[in-house]
Amino acid sequence: MQNMNACKMMGQNKCSLFPSCILLLVSILFFNMENIVLANEGSKIQVYIVYLGERKHNDLELITSSHHDMLASVLGSKQASVDSMIYSYRHGFSGFAAKLTESQAQSIAELPGVVHVLPHSFYKVQTTRSWDYLGLSPYSQTNLLYDAKMGDDVIIGVLDSGIRPESESFNDKGLGPIPSRWKGFCQSGQKFGPERRCNKKLIGARYFIDGFLASYRGTFNATENNELLSARDTNGHGTHCASTAGGSFVNNVSRSGLGLGTVRGGAPKARVAMYKVAWMRRISSADILKAFDEAIHDGVNVLSVSLGIDLPLYPEVDKRDMLYYGSFHAVASGIIIVCAGGNSGPTAGTVVNVAPWVISVAASAMDRSFPTTIMLGNNQKFMVNFLRFMKKSIYRVINVFLAFSSTDSFL
CATH of domain 123-361: 3.40.50.200
For 122, residues 6+ apart whose C-beta sits below 8 A from its C-beta are: 215, 282, 283, 284, 285
Specify the pLDDT at position 117.
97
> Please, is 276 exposed, middle or buried when counting C-beta atoms within 10 Å of its C-beta (0-12, 13-18, 19+)?
buried
Question: Could you please report the per-residue DSSP string of 94-139?
Answer: EEEEEEE-HHHHHHHHTSTT--EEEE--EEEE----HHHHTT--TT
Which of 214-218, 225-229, 253-257 has the weakest average pLDDT?
Answer: 253-257
- Overall average pLDDT of the 251-264 stretch: 68
Task: Write out pLDDT tens, residues 280-305.
Answer: 989 999 999 999 999 999 999 999 99
160 vs 378: which has the higher pLDDT: 160
Specify the pLDDT at position 250.
87
CATH 3.40.50.200 domain residues, the chain: 123-361
- Overall average pLDDT of the 344-368 stretch: 77
277 vs 194: which has the higher pLDDT: 277
CATH 3.30.70.80 domain residues, the chain: 43-119
Of 301, 300, 307, which is closest to residue 284 (Cα–Cα)?
Answer: 307
Phi first, then psi: what are they for 85, rounded to 5°?
-70, 135
pLDDT reading at 78 higher than 90 = yes
Whole-angstrom CA distances from 368 to 133, 188, 243, 259 are 9, 41, 21, 10
Task: Write out pLDDT tens, residues 44-73.
Answer: 999 999 999 999 999 999 999 999 999 999
Q: What whole-number distance in Å separates Cα of residue 129 and Cα of residue 142?
A: 17
Task: Report CA dihedral (90, 92, 93, 95) to the nearest 10 degrees.
Answer: -40
Q: What whole-number distance in Å separates Cα of residue 299 and Cα of residue 183?
A: 6
Rg (CA), the chain: 29
Whole-model pTM: value is 0.78
Specify the pLDDT at position 20.
59
Half-sphere exposure of 18 (CA within 13 A, CB side): 7
In the beta sheet, which residues pair with residue 339?
305, 360
- Overall average pLDDT of the 210-232 stretch: 93
132 vs 180: which has the higher pLDDT: 180
In the beta sheet, which residues pair with residue 308?
124
Specify the pLDDT at position 364.
62
Task: Report CA dihedral (269, 273, 279, 281) to the nearest 10 degrees.
Answer: -30
CATH of domain 43-119: 3.30.70.80
